[in-house]
Chains A and B, each alone.
Chain A
Amino acid sequence: MTTGVGSTEPEKSGGADLRGAGAGSWEPVIGLEIHVQLKTETKMFCRCRNGFGGEPNSQTCPVCLAFPGALPVPNRRAIEETIKLGLALDCTIAERAVFHRKNYFYPDNPKAYQISQYDEPLCARGHLDVPTEHGVTRIGITRAHLEEDAAKNVHVAASGRIHGATATLVDFNRCGTPLVEIVTEPDIHDAETAKRFLQLLRQTVVELELSDAELEHGSMRFDVNVSVRPAGSDELRTRTELKNMNSFSFAAKGIEREIARQIRIYEDGGVVEQETLHFDPAHEESPPLRSKEEAQDYRYFPEPDLVPVEPGKDLVDRLRATLQVLPGARITRIAETLSFYDADVLVTGGLDRLWTSLVDAGADPKEAANVLANQFVAAGIDPGTVDAGELAKLVSARAEIPRAAFDEALAKVGERGFSADPYLEQKVVADTAELDPIIQRIIDANPAQAEQYRSGKEGLLGFFVGRVMKETGGSADPRVVNERVRALL
């Protein structure tokens, strides 16, 4: 069957709203499988440089090209970072972990086996507490293990042929990039929580400096397993797998549609079939499998070219000691001061440390959060470069200085030696005696627009306000201008 969940297809009516009639009788069951590329200097099993970009096949060697006789040598840092992530997810770190070979043929898999982990992963049985408006939802982590990424296939079509690719081109630069696979328990029961989990996990790996975790570059990728069951039941019904989704919001929508689709099938007396729904064919990566048999027969066995990893207590303790307060906990803490929504935005946006500094420097918490979440993010400034004391002064003076001065100051707040003082000296013009003549002059100069406004086209208010702000070089108080334009018209 076709997917019926393509991004451009309109939602079918009555589908996604679980609170609609009769919908209370179904409970969605959602599990996630996330892949995160580690940003180590070198690849997982060879010392080729690990990194995005580079001419095709320029970052390769006998090991990642699987030349005869080449052997893998694990990257110590990749192992340590996986353990660190495992600790951040409250996993048990294995006393003994083993790499396995997962066998399948595909052009991007040069050994025809991927070195992965199977029944003895580095990290298992953890959880991530996801703060929500209604408290904390605990999502179980089944396992987090280390493996190697595949190469990149480019499917090309020759001229004159329309259907299907005529060749596959392979670039092995990405082949062997360290990849952590995180698998959750099927503990998630709605799309919003799935989205929050993914955002929080992303922020966690970014803060641990393990990965850039950028969806658009594929340094973070995820698959979603979705099934539904009658509410109150603990059965696990047939699930479908949603693959290749390239944003968290898109994932949430896709999950909602899929939940609705399955409910519809059951309510129509049908049966959900196990299948994989590919959302973004451009990001297609897994090999198409000719038969179910082959799909399930990866013939895992212990990788005999490698010896076990035995992290030991000293190493684990040393890594544990490097962990800071994790984002989930910080959201919960900040939500005591701000709304949950603001806390979530600050933390998952990587802004909460700066926010704390601003508040410590005397800025109003809510005002500081607003500035950070809006103007600061729009200005694209790296929070790490900011002098919090100077930014706090700006935040506190926002209402008193001209908008233009505030915007200009904010754009420069990341520069070395930035001082807010010159901007604070500019005062906003709110004096009607000073503003009224300017406003009147502009009304007089635009009689047609004034007439239209008076005959009911209120949208033209902005036209006049904009002219006044321009005339005053942005120093006028917009609220006062608004008020006076209305009055004078």
Chain B
Amino acid sequence: MARITRDEVLHVARLARIELSDDEVAKFQEQLANILEAVSKVSELDLSDVPPTAHPLEIANAWAEDVPRDCLPLDEVFANAPDRDGDYFRTPPA
């Protein structure tokens, strides 16, 4: 049984910036442990000479020329903004 401790659940939740209630921590600890047990199966294979595949396409050098295009007008920049302050996005203090 793959284990994930309560502290590890809290750690990944913090890394991912998800606030969890105590009940949620307990629920996710059990579910994540089950999932980890299932996915740990990947470690059964002998992969010593196998290179990783990050991407199914074997292409390279996809790039664009350095030519400007129109930017968004400000009303579109802020169309969905929860908190606009002048021409800035506003957040609680960082």
Residues of chain A touching chain B, judged by Cβ–Cβ distance below 8 Å, are 40-42, 47-49, 55-62, 65, 73-79, 96, 98, 103, 105-107, 153-155, 164-172, 287-288, 293-294, 297, 299, 302, 304, 306-310
Contacts and interface: CB of A to CB of B under 8 A. Distances in A.
B82 interface: no
A41 B15 CA distance: 35
A57 B67 contact: no
Name which of B54, B63, B66, B90 has the most chain A CB atoms within 10 A of its CB. B66
Interface string B1-41: 00000000001001101000000000000000000000000
Contact of B91 (A47, A170, A299): A170
Contact of A307 (B55, B64, B66, B78): B55
Contacts of A107: 89, 91, 94
Contacts of A57: 74, 77-78, 87-89
A166 to B, nearest CB: 6
A139 to B, nearest CB: 31
Contact of B71 (A61, A75, A153, A299): A61
Contacts of A59: 71
Interface string B46-59: 00000000110101
A293 B62 CA distance: 35
Nearest to A157: B93
B90 A167 contact: yes
B44 interface: no
Given A58-B71, A65-B77, A47 B64 contact: yes
- 5 tightest Cβ-Cβ pairs between the two chains A and B: A169-B88, A77-B66, A302-B54, A47-B69, A310-B60
B7 to A, nearest CB: 10
A164 B55 contact: no
Contacts of B90: 167-170
B93 A165 contact: yes
A42 B66 CA distance: 6
A96 B60 contact: yes
Given A76-B65, A78-B66, A154 B60 contact: no
A307 B88 contact: no
B43 interface: no
B88 A56 contact: yes
A55 B78 CA distance: 14
Interface of B is mostly: loop
A153 B69 contact: no
Contact of B94 (A60, A61, A79, A168): A168
Given A294-B14, A309-B61, A168 B93 contact: yes
A307 B59 CA distance: 7
A73 B74 contact: no
11 contacts: A48-B71, A59-B71, A76-B64, A79-B63, A153-B94, A155-B94, A170-B91, A307-B60, A307-B61, A308-B60, A310-B60
Nearest to B88: A169
A214 to B, nearest CB: 21
Nearest to B14: A294
Name which of A48, A65, A96, A287 has the most chain B CB atoms within 10 A of its CB. A65
A58 B62 contact: no
Contacts of A106: 94
Given A57-B77, A168-B90, A293-B11, 14 more contacts: A47-B67, A55-B87, A58-B74, A65-B72, A74-B63, A74-B64, A77-B65, A77-B66, A153-B94, A167-B91, A170-B88, A171-B88, A307-B60, A309-B63
A477 to B, nearest CB: 56
A367 B77 CA distance: 57
Contact of B55 (A42, A297, A304): A304
Given A169-B90, A307-B55, A294 B15 contact: yes
A310 B17 CA distance: 36
A306 B62 contact: yes
B55 A74 contact: no
Given A48-B69, A153-B94, A307 B62 contact: yes
Contacts of B78: 57
A356 B64 CA distance: 40
A293 B85 CA distance: 34
Given A57-B77, A76-B66, A167 B89 contact: no
Given A74-B64, A307-B57, A310-B61, A58 B69 contact: no
Contacts of A61: 69, 71-72
Contact of A169 (B64, B69, B85): B85
Contacts of A58: 71, 74, 87
A309 B55 contact: no
Contacts of B72: 60-62, 65
B94 to A, nearest CB: 4
Contacts of A310: 60-61
A309 B55 CA distance: 13
A79 B69 CA distance: 19
A169 B71 contact: no
